[in-house]
Amino acid sequence: MRFLHTADWHLGRTLHGADLGPAFEQWCDHVVDLVTQEDVDALFISGDVYDRGIPPVTMVDLLADTLQRLVERTRVIMTSGNHDSAQRLGFGAGLSRDGLYIYTDSRRSNVPVVIDEAGGPGALVYPIPYLDPDMERSRLGGEELLDRSHTAVNAKALERIEEDMRSRSGNAGRGAGQPYRVVLSHSFVIGAEPSESERDISVGGADSIGSHLFQLGGLTDYVALGHLHGPQRVGTDKDPLMRYSGSPIAFSFSEENHVKSSVLLDTQAKDPVTLIPAPVYRPLATLQDTLDNLLSAKYSDYTDHFLRIRVTDPDRPPNLFAKLAARFPHVLEHQHLSEANAVAIAELQSIKNDPLSVLREFFKNAGGRELTEAESDLITTVWEGVGKEESCTSAV
């Protein structure tokens, strides 16, 4: 059987204010063509279908049209991610037409999509939506309130999946005429490499989970991961084959060197994974030089790129942005990077990357001592509460 693993479409996202609508349309056309050309038995979308809880109407229409074309050609199995509104994405999921499976309820993740195969064992696909620890610790735990962590809620969901796998095939492991078993998960697995464009999903300081949770007694064949935007394999030799497909489009300049792709999974092949490059709407690049050099023929190949430009003249040139924009119509970010302000920019970046460390340093300098463990925990709790409130507000 052949499956196409994708994730993190983020329909509706922009890049430094630039409209990515044409890029999303290009990607959707590419996926429809690909499932046809490769005779794909099912398409996986492992979360973050939309970029926010209330997506733009144009993106809702684009997804509806794309799904209509896809289900005429293959099955589509998708889950909600931390960016999606599970309620909105899952509305009417029970009424979905044959071939479209939308999983947004964690309590259904142990009910697989069964894919029959002529003359073969077929496949079982277990889609797990993004699990918010605050919501799922009681939903999945039942009478037992689970720990407030990603590890606890994911472990419980996977425990229920393992029970279903064993009920269908006993203790038979991978192969041996058994169905090919796939788990979809939108999570941050320890050891994976993030980029700057993923929003934080941490709770209680523990935002990642161990790859060993997916072993399920040796029953899992493939784990189709979503959330991180760089395509990569994760896990150890003891784990099943696990990959992030990555996002189909670059959403930050930290991804300018990514080769965006989707994963074509062939269950019968000796090497089951083939990476299919995604179309590039407009490449990203970072240029750093003096203004005279930037405006010269040296950089003539970059006029069609989305650009981040750092100008290194000792003094800030007059009308800097106007001159850059006249030469490069798609410049999205520019900085005057003199020796004097380079340190300030680096400090701003460190604040962006680790705001809690900056807060602790502030209180240390203001109070003349290190914070106690209780005080540090309080700051973490308040910070996460603010972030959660902002996330809830944006989804309303």
How many residues does the structure list for the chain? Answer: 396
Residue 223 sits in a domain whose CATH number is 3.60.21.10
What pLDDT does 20 receive?
97
Q: Which residue has the higher pLDDT, 331 or 356?
A: 331
What angle do helix axes 21-37 and 57-71 make, rounded to 10 degrees? 10
Q: Which amino acid is at 103?
A: Y
Contact 261, 273 (CB under 8 A): no
In a domain, 176, yes or no: yes
Distance set, CA 302 to CA 252, 294, 298, 307, 330 (Å) = 17, 10, 9, 8, 9
User: What is the average pLDDT across 285-291?
Assistant: 96
Last residue of a domain, one of 277, 297, 313: 277
**Considering Cα of 22, then 23, then 26, then 31, what sign does the dihedral take?**
negative
List the domain range (segments joined by +) for residue 297.
284-342
What pLDDT does 388 receive?
52
Q: Is the domain of 249 the same as that of 305?
A: no
pTM of the predicted model over 0.75: yes
In a domain, 112, yes or no: yes
Contact 125, 112 (CB under 8 A): yes
Q: Is the pLDDT of residue 82 over 60?
A: yes
In a domain, 247, yes or no: yes
User: What is the average pLDDT across 206-228?
Assistant: 92
In a domain, 209, yes or no: yes
The candidate with the shortest Cα–Cα distance to 286, out of 257, 260, 307, 258, is: 307
What pLDDT does 209 receive?
94
User: What is the average pLDDT across 284-300?
Assistant: 96
In a domain, 51, yes or no: yes
In a domain, 213, yes or no: yes
User: What is the average pLDDT across 158-180?
Assistant: 85
Q: What is the DSSP letter of 53?
A: S
What pLDDT does 351 receive?
54
Q: What is the pLDDT of residues 219-263, one digit of tens each?
A: 999 999 999 999 999 999 999 999 999 999 999 999 999 999 999
What pLDDT does 196 receive?
79
User: What is the average pLDDT across 88-111?
Assistant: 77
What pLDDT does 203 receive?
40
CA atoms of 242 and 158, how far apart (whole Å): 15
**Considering Cα of 301, then 307, then 313, then 316, what sign does the dihedral take?**
positive
Picking from 245-249, 319-323, 384-388, which range would have the lowest pLDDT averaged per residue?
384-388
In a domain, 378, yes or no: no
Q: Is the domain of 124 the same as that of 189?
A: yes
Q: Is the domain of 196 the same as that of 251?
A: yes
Q: Is the pLDDT of residue 166 over 90?
A: yes
